[in-house]
Structure 1
């Protein structure tokens, strides 16, 4: 007597079909998530590509390290301003500064503020969103010969800005 059953009655066949289906659905979901908010610009600096290596200009970071520049950036959402306070180094207090607030994943959400000299540092009227992190870059508004960088975590109102290089050499 032959007691062979149909392959469709075997749990292994259904498990295999279920796994293939889940992989297809997960792949489609990943494509939708990856393309939903537009392109991601994790590094906004201009880079030079040589072969497979990417090279960025680090001279502004090295210059800021040699000048020993450091600052504090703070946001006051209640009064609607962003302020930069010098901590160390020889800043030109009469010249305006440019503050780049870069969304960590979406370039269309980036902000650029021009900070005017103020009695304690530099200030601009703005209320950036605090619902996500910001990558920060501070530089002179006229000629960006130096730059300070930092990161402002979500719901935090102040952070330190410093050169990306610490010893002054790239």
Structure 2
């Protein structure tokens, strides 16, 4: 009756050896996954890089502001104000607002240079949310964003 069992048939041995061994294998598999990104990760990085290239096409990365600009309405005027002095200046801007709920669909405004940034005649009456597309006339950069219906201003960043 006093028969000796094999050491590997004891559950405590599996807990003492198996659990640490399993954690080491899982750790190395996570390290491998972090070092070798999958196809989806590469597509996300490529899309982000493409958006950065659209903004920076004519300017080097050090010349373009990373703080973006503020787009606001003031009475019947729309203003675009850079957040710092590094933002590329000069020339007119084209602002396109698109709303799927609006009767006319989209609006386009030309913003001329002013003392603080750019300014143009226009307003955003109504309760529509707008998709914003703002770019320079020479095609040097382009910013996208959303303008909620009750907001007085939005911050557009590269």
TM-score (norm 2): 0.57
CA deviation vs aligned residue, 1:3-34 (integer Å, no higher than 9, x gap): xxxxxxxxxxxxxxxxxxxxxxxxxxxxxxxx
1:120 and 1:106 mapped to 2: Cα distance?
31
1:68 and 1:111 mapped to 2: Cα distance?
27
Contact 1:99/1:112 (8 A) holds in 2: yes
CA RMSD of aligned residues (A): 2.6
Q: Secondary structure at the match of 1:129?
A: coil
1:107 and 1:74 mapped to 2: Cα distance?
23
Contact 1:82/1:127 (8 A) holds in 2: yes
Cross-structure match for 2:156: 161
CA deviation vs aligned residue, 1:116-141 (integer Å, no higher than 9, x gap): 11111110111122411111111112
Contact 1:130/1:156 (8 A) holds in 2: no
Contact 2:96/2:134 (8 A) holds in 1: yes
Computing the radius of gyration from Cα coordinates, the structure with the larger value is: 2
Instruction: Tell me the number of residue pairs that the alignment of Structure 1 and Structure 2 aligns.
Output: 104
Contact 2:94/2:135 (8 A) holds in 1: yes
The one of 82, 85, 109 aligned to 2:81: 85
* Off by >6 Å, runs of 4+ in structure 1: none
Residue correspondence of structure 1 range 10-89 to structure 2 within 5 A: 58=51, 59-61=53-55, 63=57, 66=61, 67-69=64-66, 70-76=68-74, 79-88=75-84, 89=86
Report how far residue 75 of structure 1 moved.
0.9
CA deviation vs aligned residue, 1:139-170 (integer Å, no higher than 9, x gap): 112x212111221101111000112xxxxxxx
Report how far residue 62 of structure 1 moved.
5.2
Contact 1:130/1:155 (8 A) holds in 2: no
Contact 1:81/1:123 (8 A) holds in 2: yes
1:120 and 1:62 mapped to 2: Cα distance?
22
More helix by share: 2
2:60 and 2:153 mapped to 1: Cα distance?
21
